[in-house]
Amino acid sequence: MKLKKILGIAGLAAASVLLLAACGSKSSSSDTKTLNVGIMTLDDTTEPVWDKVTELAKEEGVTLKFTEFTDYNQPNEALQNGEIDVNAFQHYNFLNSWNKDNNGTLVAAADTLLSPIRLFSGVDGDGKAKYTKVSEIPDGATISVPNDATNESRALYLLEAAGLIKLSVSGEEEATLSSISSNPKNLDIKEVDASQTASTLTSVAAAVINNAFAQTAKVDYNTTLYTEEVNDNSKQWVNVIAAQKDWESSDKADAIKVLIKAYQSDEVGKLIQSASNYIDIPAWEGATVTSSSSN
């Protein structure tokens, strides 16, 4: 499967509109063995994964067709309106927020992957990591975290999971600096713009950096001190295959179940990791997570 990609920065919203227009008002196929899947524009990380999912689904008699989007709101609008059968581009937090803001009724049909945030060691002038494990971070050290509400909350949960602090909140509750109930090392948690966290590495003991900014800044992933894991506190950041609320009683139910089975296979789990250079991990129950060092 080779899908035509939509390129260019200008006119992204227009491109999304054109994609939807091309589908028509009700573009989901009436063929119960064909699924129209909404995804974001394919890249080198996602295309191998969807190629394999398509292959495995085909073996079970289900044909996958794809509608690519460039605007994050369009896939949910298309799914809510029945223009596509499912979509796969968002995590629980985004889906829940979209439903709330748009009176939506979409549901998560299955878990797919987690793109974990990481705690990176600070570096010296030569770019060498100051520390090799969390326990080496000294008392009174400074750790930088993103300052926007969503990413700061996620970063604080990561620091708790790493054993550096304790919080008075859990699960989907938003964490703030005031939520820190225990800080045994008296760490100085420094709030900075998410796009600037990587630039603080030379002046802090460690920093929590989103993958997009870590990759842009060419942060060495070998300096990772702690990686977010799939648990109750990170569940909201797990990506999903989303469907309409009544999908299990629809005429596409069997086909969607085939899609889920194909996606949640060991073969796809391995591709999620290798295609992303072991940045992303499969997040469904029973998925096997490996590291680049073991391959």
Specify the pLDDT at position 292.
Answer: 62
Shortest CA distance to 259 belongs to which of 53, 103, 114? 53
pLDDT in tens, 122-149: 999 899 999 999 999 999 999 999 999 9
Chosen CATH of 12-115+237-294 out of 3.40.630.30, 3.20.20.70, 3.40.190.10, 3.30.200.20: 3.40.190.10
Residues of the chain with CATH 3.40.190.10: 12-115+237-294, 118-227
Quick one: the chain helix, strand, coil %, rounded to 5? Answer: 35, 20, 40
pLDDT in tens, 9-54: 233 333 333 344 334 334 456 689 999 999 999 999 999 999 999 9
Whole-angstrom distance, CA of residue 256 vs CA of residue 248: 9
Shortest CA distance to 44 belongs to which of 13, 2, 98, 16? 2
CATH of domain 118-227: 3.40.190.10
Cα 243–Cα 43–Cα 121 angle in degrees, nearest 5:
100
Q: Which two tokens stand for residue 53?
A: 């999912």
Specify the pLDDT at position 17.
Answer: 37
Whole-angstrom distance, CA of residue 281 vs CA of residue 56: 20
H helix or E strand, kind and range, residue 22: helix 12-23
Specify the pLDDT at position 29.
Answer: 61
pTM: 0.84
